[in-house]
Amino acid sequence: MRVLVIEDDEELAETIAAGLREAGMAVDVALDGGAGLQRALVNDYEVIVLDRDLPGVHGDDVCARLVAAGGRSRVLMLTGAASNDDLVEGLGLGADDYLGKPFAFAVLVARIGALARRAQPSIPPVLRSGDIVLDTAKRCAQRSGRDLELTPKEFGALELLLAAQGRVVSAEELLARVWDENADPFTSAVRITLSRLRAKLGSPPVIETVAKAGYRI
Q: Do domains 2-116 and 126-216 have the same CATH topology?
A: no
* For the chain, percent of residues with pLDDT exceeding 70: 89
What is 2-116's CATH superfamily? Response regulator (3.40.50.2300)
> What dotted CATH number matches 126-216?
1.10.10.10
Q: Tell me, what's the pLDDT at 82?
A: 59
Residue range 112-170, pLDDT digits in tens: 988 887 765 666 778 999 999 999 878 899 999 999 999 988 998 999 999 888 999 99
pTM here?
0.70
Tell me, letter by letter, the H, E, C secondary structure of the chain.
Answer: CEEEEECCCHHHHHHHHHHHHHCCCEEEEECCHHHHHHHHHHCCCCEEEEECCCCCCCHHHHHHHHHHHCCCCEEEEEECCCCHHHHHHHHHCCCCEEEECCCCHHHHHHHHHHHHCCCCCCCCCEEEECCEEEECCCCEEEECCEECCCCHHHHHHHHHHHHCCCCCECHHHHHHHHCCCCCCCCCCHHHHHHHHHHHHHCCCCCCEEECCCEEEC
Annotated domain spans of the chain: 2-116, 126-216
